[in-house]
Chain A
Amino acid sequence: MTIDRTGEVPGILRYANTPGSSSFSEFLSVAAPHLMPATHAGSGELDAPHGTTIVAALYADGVVMAGDRRSTMGNLIAQRDIEKVFAADDYSLVGIAGTAGLAVEMVRLYQVELEHYEKIEGTQLTIDGKANRLATMIRSNLGMAMQGLAVVPMFAGYDPDAASPAEGGRIYSFDVTGSRSVERYYHSVGSGSLFARGSLKKLWREGLDRDAVVRVVVEALYDAADDDSATGGPDLTRGIYPVVMTATADGTERVGDDELGTVVRALLADREARPGA
């Protein structure tokens, strides 16, 4: 046995040590760089579908996030049942506005990133660690953003280390350069966010319970859709309602369409009674 093979790493073990970190995206960029999201588009104009309005708000048990179902391409509706709010892991949610294709891919990579860390380290990232990780991924998309293909996610989650459920909800907003900030009450991103935020400002109160806060975010999206053509309102004829998800000490949960149907009908009845609102 005189052959020196100390430099060689056989088979699957070549994945074990390079890179040494617990990050999936770092691993992917070494093991399969062609699978990484593109960071530069070719020159020229590109018309890609855009996702629009996302809202999030704190409430008594944690945090809620909701997104409308429309994506647009110029003046056309590209899709009327797109989903833009996702569970990032057991305790956190991510919502996306901006170029839909890139954003959905970013979320997919982000979900694997969090799960990968958890499996390798045997523990979850802290909620601030998760938000910082997402900020890095947004920053790496800056090249695309300069060419008009920006992705602006919003991140929200429940911090299991919090002293009480009322203090556990967290909302983080980002800009296209990856700058991260913590929102204290509620936040909205996307083309209809101006109107959604105005609506939240009047409807949201501290310590709302789950049912009340679901109604508030659905109404904020309704107001956004009212004034922004790129945001879709609830579609009763097709049964397409906003995606509403909560993150609490019990984990993440999607609010069912049956419940949302009831909320939307009640909302429409109230608005019908005061058409000027």
Chain B
Amino acid sequence: MSMPFYASAEQIMRDRSEYARKNIARGRSVIVLTYADGVLFVAENASPALHKVSEIYDRIGFAGVGKYNEYESLRVAGIRLADLRGYSYDRRDVTARALANAYAQTLGTIFTEQQKPYEVEICVAEVGEQPDSDQLYRLTYDGSIVSEPDFLVMGGGQAEALVAEMREAFTARQPLADALAAAVRALGSVGGADGSPRAIPAAQLEVAVLDRTRGKRKFKRITGAALTELLPAEEPAEQGATEAESDQE
């Protein structure tokens, strides 16, 4: 039987963190922010089928970055936990806080006990009756959980720069079109040639909202014509036209 080399706990944890962080940074970013009517998810995603953003329950949405199969299994587990709770108690008893806790426990256990940590960063968001009660939770690969009041940026190689960009652009309770424009501009501010901003076409964006004005299920994807209409026009002269209603299926 071979004896493993001794490695201090500190060294092991640092190695795992570095491994996870490096791989998460490889993907594209996701921005989650609050706006006047709820929570907006904006992801740069080249695939129309492999979603980064998803519905969990009536008022709860999910976003993930990193390794697809890993955040996908977290997403499925979250939907099942939420549906199970809602079925055995009541629909109103399903909360983002409980779900975020379950995720944190799981990610923490994996980080300390398994061979390799999950290379993911996820967000659990809940839309409340009032803007004050909207909740955004960010969960990282080691099970840390942070509650963000306004917005959060996950994944991508230059997340720090995006956070700075968003801090500039974010205003509380702005209309949907403005919030979307801010997030898209932030996503495009990095990764361009020579550091210049790049335009991200609508087809490369995955956009969804948790809209408190909707009926029972608040989650709604914004795709196709509705998304194009909502995005800022190529010529910035037409600022007023972006207020268009997106409430069409």
Binding site for B on A (CB under 8 A): 1-3, 5-6, 10-17, 24, 27-28, 31-32, 35, 108-109, 112, 115-116, 119-120, 122
Contact = CB atoms under 8 A, between A and B. Distances in A.
Given A13-B106, A28-B84, 20 more contacts: A3-B113, A5-B113, A10-B109, A11-B102, A11-B105, A11-B106, A12-B78, A13-B77, A13-B110, A15-B77, A16-B74, A24-B87, A32-B84, A109-B87, A112-B86, A112-B87, A116-B83, A119-B55, A120-B76, A122-B54
A10 B70 CA distance: 13
B81 A15 contact: yes
Contact of A10 (B78, B83, B110): B110
A11 B73 contact: no
Contacts of B105: 10-12
Contacts of B83: 24, 27, 112, 115-116, 119
A210 B86 CA distance: 35
Given A10-B106, A11-B109, A119-B55, A16 B84 contact: no
Report, nearest first, the 5 A-B pairs whose CB atoms are least far apart: A11-B106, A16-B77, A10-B109, A16-B73, A15-B80
Nearest to A160: B249
A245 to B, nearest CB: 15
A16 to B, nearest CB: 4
A2 B4 contact: yes
Interface string B58-92: 00000000000000011011111101101110000
A15 B99 CA distance: 13
Contacts of B4: 1-2
Interface string B87-126: 1100000000000001101100110011100000000000
B26 interface: no
A35 B54 contact: no
Contacts of A35: 84, 87-88
11 contacts: A10-B105, A11-B109, A12-B102, A12-B105, A12-B106, A13-B110, A27-B80, A28-B87, A32-B88, A116-B80, A122-B49
B77 A12 contact: yes
Given A5-B114, A31-B80, A119-B56, A13 B73 contact: yes
B12 interface: yes
B14 interface: no
Nearest to A6: B115
A115 B55 CA distance: 10
A123 to B, nearest CB: 10
Name the residue in A12, A14, A109 with the highest tally of chain B Cβ atoms < 10 Å from its Cβ. Answer: A12
Contact of A12 (B86, B103, B217): B103
Interface string B1-27: 000100000001000000000000000
B51 interface: yes
A1 B102 CA distance: 25
Contacts of A32: 84, 88
A10 B87 contact: no
A112 B86 CA distance: 9
A43 B211 CA distance: 50
B238 to A, nearest CB: 30
Given A1-B115, A5-B114, A119-B56, A12 B81 contact: yes
A108 to B, nearest CB: 7
Contacts of A119: 54-56, 79, 83
Most A Cβ at <10 Å: residue of B74, B80, B81, B113: B80
